[in-house]
Chain A
Amino acid sequence: MPDVDVLVVGAGPGGCIAAREAARAAPELAVLLIERDPAVGVPVRCAEGVGDAGLREFADPTDASWVSRRISRVIFIAPDDTEVPVAERDVGWILDRSRFDACLAAEAAASGAVVRTGVAASGMDRVGERWAVTLQGPGTGGREETVRARVVIGADGVETMVGRWAGLDTRVPARDMESCAQDLLAGIAFDPDAIYLQFSDRDAPGGYAWLFPKGLGVANVGLGVVALRARGRTARQYLDAWIARRYPAGTRLGTTVGGVIVHPTVRRAFTDGVLLVGDAAHMVNPLSGGGIVNAMKSGRLAGRAAAAAIRAGDISAARLASYQRDWMTLLGDDHLKYYAIKRALERCDDEFFNALARTVNRIAPAKRTLGRIFAHALVRHPQLLAVAARFFV
């Protein structure tokens, strides 16, 4: 039975960075990164948008092969289809996740981690001071293998099982699960430097609809809904209706579905010899649904925490609790505030967003910032003030 020091389950952005950072922090450690699917990065189950500053902490997008588009504008769409362009400096990037994830996995390997694809974890048990993890899949040649790890980093996404096997509570209440569907559409008209976001109870109840450019005339077009508010229709049905209304001439080149957990961070993302990162620990921004940078930031913390704990000879929950504290300070506490704003926005109806769009469009475009938009929202909806006070004070 082979032994490793750190086993990272899942080679998305969070897992790749965790493996890379653990290997860099302690080159003497054996780090194994496993990916269930036969190739890192596919299938892409993501809208692929990422903020500029967060991305640059981990990778340089300049002339990178894994960039699809640079984004310099956000266009909000009111329920009545009024468009509100908002220019922000350095908005962000639309990635090609299949290439991006592969580059990150290659970096993990170059840093000393062993990467294996087509290998899934199918169970794990505590054996002494290690976790015995069962591996299977095409990458094991069809045989069941067991690997013993000092620390297991669960970067296994929305569907995480590492957390459950380790006895952590990673369940999600139905109201905090966004059901998403997305098509890759070609032959449609839009501003290729902008992302589009439509907030509307009719089109995407409990969530929003998006268009993220992949190239000229080609975009990720998708939406998320909360089933409890979806009047018995699926995300797929809402997306078909939205596309029929806004992009009827589009040609579908691809399609995907998935869940986005818009819930604050799990109370415990750690236990003896286990850390959870990214989606597996509900570290998605609950207001935007964005999770790529969050996963990488938590992966960096987890990889370094695991390496330091092993070097110190103490992988107990008491020691690894520092990971949770560091995450909450870095972003987790902010997510609690974003979650409160999300809950407050749920009480705003379509007429509120229509009126807000008309008001904001009277502000000169150069002065139209998210801060000013929020200020106008406060005037119209004073109940947001209580949330804003907690947020800013």
Chain B
Amino acid sequence: MTRLPGAASLAAMIAARSPEIAAVDLARCDRCGLCLPLCPPAAIRLGSVDLLIDAGACTGCRKCIAPCPVGALRMGLRA
């Protein structure tokens, strides 16, 4: 019997296809946390001194890019 993929693996499949993911310019980022609740897969975390984006979880949806108050988030090629 073929099993349908679950939501998590579907997200991973979409993520794997996106050539671009979000990247943070730490020189601009103020670590305000505004982008965290905008991120559907919760791929962004506040570290103790920086902002961390989980490249494996980011789906490249761009929802975090425009709202950043200081323009610290950009799309970049998946490494």
By a beta-carbon cutoff of 8 Å, the part of chain A in contact with chain B is: 45, 120, 136-138, 157-161, 164, 170-172, 174, 177, 179-181, 227-228, 230, 232, 234-237, 256-259, 261
Of the residues A138, A158, A161, A228, contact of B34 by C-beta under 8 Å: A158
Q: How far is the CB of B3 from chain A (nearest CB, A)?
A: 23
Classify the secondary structure of A's interface with B. Answer: mixed
Pairwise interchain contact A137-B37, C-beta atoms closer than 8 A: no
Kindly list chain B residues whose C-beta atoms are within 8 Å of the C-beta of A174: 38, 63, 66-67
Of the residues A137, A158, A227, contact of B66 by C-beta under 8 Å: A227
Complexed CA–CA distance, A161 and B45 (Å) = 9
Contacts A137-B48, A164-B42, A172-B38 given; indicate if A236 touches B70 (C-beta within 8 A).
Answer: yes
| Chain A to chain B contacts (Cβ below 8 Å), 22 pairs | A120-B48, A158-B36, A159-B34, A160-B36, A160-B37, A161-B36, A170-B37, A171-B37, A171-B38, A174-B38, A177-B34, A179-B68, A227-B67, A230-B66, A232-B66, A234-B68, A234-B69, A235-B69, A236-B69, A257-B30, A257-B34, A259-B69
Total B residues in contact with A, Cβ cutoff 8 Å? 21
Residue with the greatest number of chain B CB neighbours at <10 A, chosen from A159, A172, A256: A159
B56 within 8 A of A: no
Q: Top 7 nearest A-B pairs by Cβ distance?
A: A159-B33, A259-B34, A257-B69, A227-B66, A235-B69, A227-B67, A159-B36
Complexed CA–CA distance, A82 and B67 (Å) = 29
Kindly list chain B residues whose C-beta atoms are within 8 Å of the C-beta of A137: 48
Of the residues B37, B39, B40, B63, contact of A158 by C-beta under 8 Å: B37
B46 within 8 A of A: yes
Q: How far is the CB of B71 from chain A (nearest CB, A)?
A: 5
Contacts A120-B48, A157-B33, A257-B69 given; indicate if A177 touches B42 (C-beta within 8 A).
Answer: no
Q: How far is the CB of B77 from chain A (nearest CB, A)?
A: 22
Pairwise interchain contact A159-B37, C-beta atoms closer than 8 A: yes
Pairwise interchain contact A179-B33, C-beta atoms closer than 8 A: no
Chain A, residue nearest B29 (CB): A257
Complexed CA–CA distance, A174 and B33 (Å) = 14
Kindly list chain A residues whose C-beta atoms are within 8 Å of the C-beta of B30: 256-258
Chain A, residue nearest B37 (CB): A172
Kindly list chain B residues whose C-beta atoms are within 8 Å of the C-beta of A228: 66
Pairwise interchain contact A177-B38, C-beta atoms closer than 8 A: yes
Chain A, residue nearest B28 (CB): A236
Pairwise interchain contact B70-A234, C-beta atoms closer than 8 A: yes
Chain B contacts with A in 51-73, Cβ cutoff 8 A: 63, 66-71
Of the residues A120, A159, A170, A259, contact of B67 by C-beta under 8 Å: A259
B32 within 8 A of A: yes
Kindly list chain B residues whose C-beta atoms are within 8 Å of the C-beta of A237: 71
Complexed CA–CA distance, A256 and B40 (Å) = 25
Of the residues A136, A157, A258, contact of B69 by C-beta under 8 Å: A258
Residue with the greatest number of chain A CB neighbours at <10 A, chosen from B30, B35, B37, B38: B37
Kindly list chain B residues whose C-beta atoms are within 8 Å of the C-beta of A232: 66
Chain A, residue nearest B66 (CB): A227
Complexed CA–CA distance, A368 and B66 (Å) = 39
Kindly list chain B residues whose C-beta atoms are within 8 Å of the C-beta of A157: 33
Complexed CA–CA distance, A258 and B34 (Å) = 6
Q: How far is the CB of A321 from chain B (nearest CB, A)?
A: 23
Pairwise interchain contact B48-A259, C-beta atoms closer than 8 A: no
Kindly list chain B residues whose C-beta atoms are within 8 Å of the C-beta of A170: 37
Contacts A45-B32, A159-B36 given; indicate if A257 touches B66 (C-beta within 8 A).
Answer: no
Complexed CA–CA distance, A136 and B48 (Å) = 9
Q: How far is the CB of A172 from chain B (nearest CB, A)?
A: 4
Of the residues A45, A136, A230, A257, contact of B70 by C-beta under 8 Å: A257
